[in-house]
Structure 1
């Protein structure tokens, strides 16, 4: 049992409040997944720049990387540290050089997400505490997704927490269990993908990456997952410009959505949505099985 939340803003005046609303939704889902939590927020971006979200061991002093990162980037690198994570903003053309430098000077630091707008945070602990540690309530943006985890198929670790990144500006959270993830993982490894956990959700994320490398759109990759993934699952996927929802054909995991003129919201239970503005006038519905839903700011 895990909890998923997602929030997509239509009204730009709500953007300063995105993090506060998402934090409230995440906190309500604590009892669905008390062992770890994570979230991705899509905020402002700059043309020609990439954000790399880094995770280090407790006590990592990210500012100590400044000179080495500046040298690798050929420019001043902005570093914003938040607890065990930091977001660095770099020239997009220097991503490989930055990753190479990090591997050499700070091998204990992991890149957990990359994108023009996406920042991705996850840690072990009660979800409400994780949100406080990273200052989620003070973050602004256009949309975000979050997850509270109750580990059932793998260890309670930060690596095993969601979201899992599925590519640039893209990540996935999952509620459910896949029955064929071990065999699918072997196939994906043969394709050259690598894994850091035994989590079946990481396999789902890698599967989407594989399909999109073959030329699928995200929607097509999600459609193919209905045939290739066995088990029961609800996916919420964040992209640079929107977010999507998919439930398996049986749809035994709970899910509810709300839409107003100002936002679209997803929760594993209605109570995660109950504190949103004007919720009493929202259209409330349960997403249909085996149907891909997607909201996109670029549309």
Structure 2
């Protein structure tokens, strides 16, 4: 079933409250999928950062921080429970990421880019939010997901959001029927899908299309012919926020827009506590119709 939320802030006044608003929206969706939860926050841009995760953070992160300092004294590590955000020069990112795979094989890269940080774990949204201090996070936009596992195990790897490209991530409610064929196509294009979750395939598909020069709206539009199944996607990029429902649109979805923000929820009750919601334009997104906003 799953629950999705998203918030794109048009003005700076609400940015200090982004994490708190998204957390409350996500907690409201708990009964749509209580096995795992995650959130992606687009905060102040840096040169480059990696969000990484470990099942044994007390052992791995001190060793990782020491190793990173040996590579480059300007690299910093900020730990948040089982995750850490590594800030580093963009020109070192590729080499550092490749070296991590060899020296820290149990470390998972959740996402990378200039602005995006991803935090996700098994557990209820309230507990996951508390573990990472999500309420205190600021930013321009973010998306969140609470999961009811149907196609893969209840694990951190299976939790949303999924990120397969710089500053790009996706949350999904639904199921794709042709994801195995798409995995093979993506593999031929050099794009790896590491989890069993079909939603990561959808994220990787969008990465592929955007690598070929499409913007977010065009990539989502292409998905209408290439992605078979039923789905609602909410996607984040460094500067944008997009929504797409399949042509049947059997999964619930609500959008609301004011002068200050655009908000998405699987159900309207996720939006009711947002500031100014009583004067917002509220509507159900049309089937097979791309909606996206950019700064």
Tell me the TM-score range normalised by the shorter chain: over 0.9
In structure 2, C-alpha distance between the alignment counterparts of 1:139 and 1:257, rounded to whole Å: 23
Residue 211 of structure 1 corresponds to 209
- Paired residue secondary structure (2:131): helix
1:176 aligns with 2:174: yes
Q: How many residues align?
A: 294
How large is the RMSD of aligned CA atoms in angstroms? 1.3
Task: Pick which of 202-211 and 97-106 moved more.
Answer: 97-106
In structure 1, C-alpha distance between the alignment counterparts of 2:49 and 2:149, rounded to whole Å: 29
Give the drift of 1:288.
1.0
Q: Deviations over 1:110-168 (max 9, x none)?
A: 11100100001111111111111111001011100000110111111100101110310
Residue 68 of structure 1 corresponds to 67
Give the drift of 1:179.
1.1
1:106 aligns with 2:114: no
Residue 43 of structure 2 corresponds to 43
- Paired residue secondary structure (2:48): strand
Residue 159 of structure 1 corresponds to 157
Equivalences for residues 193-208 of structure 1 within 5 A: 193-208=191-206
Equivalences for residues 11-160 of structure 1 within 5 A: 11-46=11-46, 49-61=47-59, 62-72=61-71, 74-160=72-158
- Paired residue secondary structure (2:146): strand
In structure 2, C-alpha distance between the alignment counterparts of 1:59 and 1:67, rounded to whole Å: 14
Q: Deviations over 1:235-280 (max 9, x none)?
A: 1000111201111111111000111111110000000001111211
In structure 1, C-alpha distance between the alignment counterparts of 2:181 and 2:188, rounded to whole Å: 11
- Paired residue secondary structure (1:53): strand
After TM superposition, the score normalised by the length of structure 1 is 0.95
Q: Which runs of 5+ in 2 are unaligned?
A: none
Residue 190 of structure 1 corresponds to 188
1:5 aligns with 2:5: yes
Give the drift of 1:70.
2.2
In structure 2, C-alpha distance between the alignment counterparts of 1:21 and 1:290, rounded to whole Å: 28
Residue 262 of structure 1 corresponds to 260
Say if 2:115 and 2:238, in contact at 8 Å, map to a contact too: yes
Give the drift of 1:65.
2.1
Tell me which stretches of 4 or more aligned residues in structure 1 moved more than 4 Å: none
Q: Deviations over 1:152-203 (max 9, x none)?
A: 1111110010111031011000011111112221222232222222211011
Q: Deviations over 1:43-99 (max 9, x none)?
A: 0123xx101001011343423322321232x33222110010000100000012211
In structure 1, C-alpha distance between the alignment counterparts of 2:128 and 2:227, rounded to whole Å: 30
Say if 1:78 and 1:89, in contact at 8 Å, map to a contact too: yes
Give the drift of 1:27.
0.3
Say if 1:243 and 1:294, in contact at 8 Å, map to a contact too: yes
Q: Among 247, 252, 258, which residue is 2:250 paired with?
A: 252
